[in-house]
Homo-oligomer: A and B are copies of this chain.
């Protein structure tokens, strides 16, 4: 080893032992010191470099630990046998990974997001501070893998009051998103199960099933939701449906059809219904529709919901109610899954519910969103262009049909030219052959203010029908 090339940099912040370690390592890596070569003894090297033996020892220790050299008793330090690292010619193009950039628009009828001005920032901030002021070791101990027990109790109570869901807190599982809950169901059930999904339906479902290599079949919907006769023909095992407010069409599944599907499920041990109740809090006329789970007495319905729409999508809290026999199976097969929601969020949310803020917030949001929906519907109707508005008086989006002979892409493109982003329904079809010849667009209104809605609709009028 040619120590002549090694110079200690006394100005450097790097400790001397590290400089020595780095030097020797480089010599070994570059092949200047061959394998099996004996390194200088600590005494000799420390004398030569005029540093302490401890410093040399530290450098040698690090090299031993990383496996560059080995120490043989009574003989000394030797360079280890290390293969050459093969460098392959780069065949991946190395351009920097580009992040997704979307064109900015003036008005975005996005389906995602919630109203900003009415978000209860002050309350949420206050509750969060209260919780963190009580920070104690509970914050450090991994809690129940199903989620914070008090939150599960608060949710089971709320779901019973508002949705007629029958369950004990033990049946509630909390997670960071509906996708994660559905993935756990895919793992819970046998791999040969076939899932029936609404066509059109929540577009992430087919992506989820594809990624998780689960079999699925699209089932048509009409204005009343999933069509039972098609379920019988296509014969899946587990249905995924949104009976309170079909996404995206907006239809409500009537009781007769709910019973038909429950009876279908009851015909076989292997059948289940997954009820996705994603926005049932927002119904603007009459009472909320009772859940499917509430009329199931045969442990066939798995009920799922999320706080994305009624509090915020960034809260990342969803929940699932499993019937008792499936909770047992979950304990058995999936006990290793930890609740991915931080305990802070769970405690704040629990406090928000227990202290009545959640109910108050929902009531306020119902009024706000109802006004927005009414404004949108009125603005579209007053255009007198014959635009058809589909779906129930509920939720945070409407579906429209535009009678101007434009295709879905043409409608979206022309709207975009006027600075308005709209969304086609075709992406919600897993089976594209079913897409109606009459295009439909989805307009989400949660994030827009009423004056923006009015302006946006007048721009759509120009885009789709020309100026008058």
Interface residues of A (CB under 8 A from B): 18, 21, 58, 61-62, 65-68, 80-88, 90, 92, 94, 96-97, 99-100, 112-114, 116, 119, 121, 124-125, 128-129, 132-133, 135, 137, 139-144, 168, 170-171, 176-177, 179-180, 183, 187, 191, 203-204, 207-208, 211-213, 224, 252-260, 262-263, 266, 285-287, 289-290, 295, 297-299, 312-316, 323-325, 327-328, 331, 333-334, 336-345, 392
Roughly how many angstroms separate A383 CA and B342 CA in the complex, as a whole number? Answer: 41
Contact, CB under 8 Å: B65 / A259: no
- Given that A82-B255, A113-B141, A299-B92 are known contacts, is A168 also in contact with B286, CB under 8 Å in the complex? no
Closest chain B CB from A87 CB (angstroms): 6
Across-interface contacts of A298 in B (CB, < 8 A)? 87-88, 90
Contact, CB under 8 Å: A324 / B113: no
Contact, CB under 8 Å: A314 / B343: yes
Can you name the residue of chain B whose Cβ is closest to the Cβ of A207? B336
Set B65, B314, B324: member contacting A286, Cβ < 8 A? B65
Contact, CB under 8 Å: B340 / A96: no
Across-interface contacts of A345 in B (CB, < 8 A)? 342, 344-345
Roughly how many angstroms separate A204 CA and B139 CA in the complex, as a whole number? Answer: 23
Closest chain B CB from A48 CB (angstroms): 22
Contact, CB under 8 Å: B62 / A313: no
Roughly how many angstroms separate A61 CA and B252 CA in the complex, as a whole number? Answer: 13
Q: List 26 A-B contacts (CB under 8 A).
A: A62-B286, A62-B287, A65-B392, A66-B289, A68-B254, A80-B254, A85-B259, A85-B297, A87-B298, A88-B266, A90-B298, A92-B299, A97-B327, A129-B129, A139-B312, A142-B313, A142-B314, A180-B180, A180-B340, A183-B183, A204-B336, A207-B336, A314-B342, A314-B343, A316-B340, A341-B342
Roughly how many angstroms separate A141 CA and B119 CA in the complex, as a whole number? Answer: 12
Contact, CB under 8 Å: A297 / B129: no
Roughly how many angstroms separate A327 CA and B96 CA in the complex, as a whole number? Answer: 10
